[in-house]
Amino acid sequence: MVLMALFDMIAFVKLLSNATSAASGFVSNTESGFNSLFGTDSTAATQAASQASSSIIFGTGIRLLVLFFVINIAIFSAGYFAQRVIAPKQQGYLQAMTEYGRYLALPVFFSAAIAILGLLGGLAVSWILMILMILSYSIQSIAMYQIALSHGKKAGFDSLYSILLINVLLSIVIGLIVAIFGGSVFTMLENLF
């Protein structure tokens, strides 16, 4: 889960860095045109803006890393909670997390591909990154269902209703997580542009 969060963060930070580089390159070219026209020099202002954007990108990256990691933990915890409600045979949290980790080989591969494409591709491949991220989180959701439903004879709450309840609760929890962490990420992005 940590690797997935790290790879996803790397891809987004590189895309963000490419976007700010493109924007600052446009501003720099426009400034140099005005400077040559009016005979002024503003390289110090351009350097200060570049340093400020680098600091904001780093802070955004750390916040994105925490956001992705907390979302990954929330998805696993939802599956574990559903397992505790449905199955009579109980597993410990870390034992269930180890089993869940075995199901995450393909999502980790997709996340690594996301990071590599993000580092090498730039803004042109952003739509491919989104498709790979959707695939990664879809397979992670399937792994969550596998954890929730894979333990023998069902007892207690009906499986279908449990999964429906878990999905509603997971949607609310992820919405709250994105609202809390996403708000600070969006604030930093507003300061960047």
Query: Could you report the per-residue pLDDT of 2-51, keeping only the tens digit for each?
Result: 888 888 888 878 777 766 665 555 555 555 554 555 555 555 545 554 55
pLDDT at residue 95, as a whole number: 87
Please answer whether residues 116 and 183 qualify as being in contact, where contact means their C-beta atoms are separated by less than 8 angstroms. Answer: no
Neighbours of 74 (CB within 10 A): 16
Q: Please compute Rg for the chain using Cα positions.
A: 22
Query: Domain total for the chain?
Result: 1
Per the structure, the complete domain to which residue 109 belongs is given by: 2-192
In one-letter notation, the amino acid at residue 78 is: A
Query: Could you report the per-residue pLDDT of 135-187, keeping only the tens digit for each?
Result: 888 888 888 888 877 765 666 566 677 778 778 888 888 888 778 776 666 66
